[in-house]
Structure 1
Amino acid sequence: MIVEYIRYKISESRAQGFEAAYVTAQDSLRASPHCLGFELSRCHDAPEHYILRIQWDSAEGHMQGFRKSAHFPPFLAAIRPYVPDIEEMRHYDVTPVQWTRVTS
């Protein structure tokens, strides 16, 4: 597994449209067998900053599998107006340093 992080800086006036674009784009991510999960977070302290975290089965699964599939064009069409707002887009390897509290 690999994690892709995409950092965006979106003005307040465009935030609602940005989030709506990802509501649409998530259908393409969900449909891809290479996507294992995703989360869009907005910074509490600086609301113009967002981070999209996508878990992929592998970097190849993302770059070759998803990007060359029929799922990618509608994904890109939904988010295209926000591509210039990307500050960083990188793949990260997960380390063994992790923990999640399970609550009931």
Structure 2
Amino acid sequence: MILEAVMLNVKSGQTEQFEMSFKEASKIISKMKGYISHALHRCIEIENKYLLLVEWETLEDHTVGFRESEEYLEWKKILHHYYDPFPVVEHFEEIGLN
């Protein structure tokens, strides 16, 4: 399992609309091959900041399967205009210390 982690800085005054748009966009990502789950968290200390966590079966499910799909173009159209600056996407794998 791969964890995609993204800090999202939403333009001031647009958080309410962003959250509604994200709800709509969630329907897109949740249907993708290799998708496991996702969660959006609002920062308590910093207004307009969110953390998006998405679990994928493989890195390629995100970087190729989703990012190179028609569905991604729709996701981008719904969400990308809210961000300033544009977010950096990072991927993590569990190291199994349990």
Q: TM-score, normalised by structure 2?
A: 0.85
Q: Distance in 2 between matches of 1:83 and 1:46?
A: 15
Instruction: Please report how far the alpha carbon of residue 82 of structure 1 lies from its aligned counterpart in structure 2 after TM superposition.
Output: 2.4
Partner of 2:9: 9
Instruction: Please report how far the alpha carbon of residue 24 of structure 1 lies from its aligned counterpart in structure 2 after TM superposition.
Output: 1.3
Q: Distance in 1 between matches of 2:97 and 2:23?
A: 31
Instruction: Please report how far the alpha carbon of residue 97 of structure 1 lies from its aligned counterpart in structure 2 after TM superposition.
Output: 4.5
Query: Does structure 2 conserve the Cα–Cα contact (< 8 Å) formed by 1:31 and 1:71?
Result: no
Partner of 2:36: 36
4+ runs of 1 displaced by more than 3 Å?
83-87
State the SS of the aligned residue for 1:6: strand
- AA aligned to 2:42 is R
Q: Distance in 2 between matches of 1:65 and 1:43?
A: 29
CA RMSD of aligned residues (A): 1.8
Q: TM-score, normalised by structure 1?
A: 0.81
Greater Rg over alpha carbons, structure: 1
- Residue 21, structure 1, aligned to residue 18, structure 2: no
Alignment length (residue pairs): 98
State the SS of the aligned residue for 1:81: helix
Q: Structure 1: 5+ residue runs without aligned partners? A: 99-104
Q: Distance in 1 between matches of 2:87 and 2:26?
A: 20
Over the matched positions of the two proteins, sequence identity in percent amounts to 20
Instruction: Please report how far the alpha carbon of residue 56 of structure 1 lies from its aligned counterpart in structure 2 after TM superposition.
Output: 0.9
Q: Distance in 2 between matches of 1:97 and 1:17?
A: 40
- AA aligned to 2:52 is L
